[in-house]
């Protein structure tokens, strides 16, 4: 508390605390989850990147299916750690093949991993990597894992808009 003491000859007077209002300028507000516009508008964004965070419930709800929180959210920490592990494992296994984000959908006991990959991979190798990923993740996570992949010719075909 800030108190000012005013001394007189006989007694000490206490002045009440002064209340002040502080407001910051609108240009100082922080916006997270949004990409800045470049001067030449040459930064490519995919569909997932182009939607700001306040549209998650409306436009991106299919990306956030998670039914593990239905039972009082008992596995929140384990789910977060498993998601990080899944993303790192899939990124390492499918090195430089994913053109989009890795989407993890949890429904009851099933984990579905979705994404868009490049088309230049041999069919035999792609089927091997799908089986390898599903089998190892199923053994480690002790639940069925299903990979749902779509292919595109090149990474530029996933660009939604430029900013």
| Residue-range domains of the chain with CATH | 37-162 (3.30.70.1350)
Question: Residue 134, Cβ neighbours under 10 Å: how many?
Answer: 16
Does the pLDDT at position 156 exceed 90? no
Q: Residue 18 and residue 23: Cα distance in Å, rounded? A: 17
Higher pLDDT, 54 or 106: 106
Residues of the chain above pLDDT 70, percent? 69
Would you list the DSSP string of 76-122? Answer: HHHHHHHHHHHHHHHHHHTTTTBSSPPEEEEETTEEEEEEEEES-S-
How far does CA 90 lie from the centroid of its chain? 16
Calculate mean pLDDT across residues 9-32. 64
Model confidence, pTM: 0.65
Calculate mean pLDDT across residues 112-125. 89
Dihedral pair phi/psi, residue 27, rounded to 5°: -75, -10
């Amino acid at each position: 508390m800030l108190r000012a003491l005013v001394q007189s000859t006989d007694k000490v007077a206490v002045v009440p605390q002064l209340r002040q209002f502080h407001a910051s300028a609108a240009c100082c507000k922080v916006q997270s989850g949004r990409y800045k516009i470049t001067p030449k508008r040459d930064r490519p964004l995919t569909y997932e990147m182009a939607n700001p965070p306040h549209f998650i419930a409306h436009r991106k709800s299919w990306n956030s299916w998670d039914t593990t929180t239905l039972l009082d959210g008992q596995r929140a920490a384990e789910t977060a750690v498993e998601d990080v592990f899944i993303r790192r494992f899939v990124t390492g296994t499918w090195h430089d093949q994913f053109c989009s984000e890795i989407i993890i959908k949890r429904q009851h006991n099933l984990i579905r991993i979705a994404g868009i990959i490049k088309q230049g991979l041999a069919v035999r190798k792609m089927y091997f990597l799908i089986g390898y990923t599903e089998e190892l993740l199923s053994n480690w996570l002790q639940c069925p894992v299903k990979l749902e992949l779509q292919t595109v010719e090149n990474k530029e075909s996933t660009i939604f808009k430029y900013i």
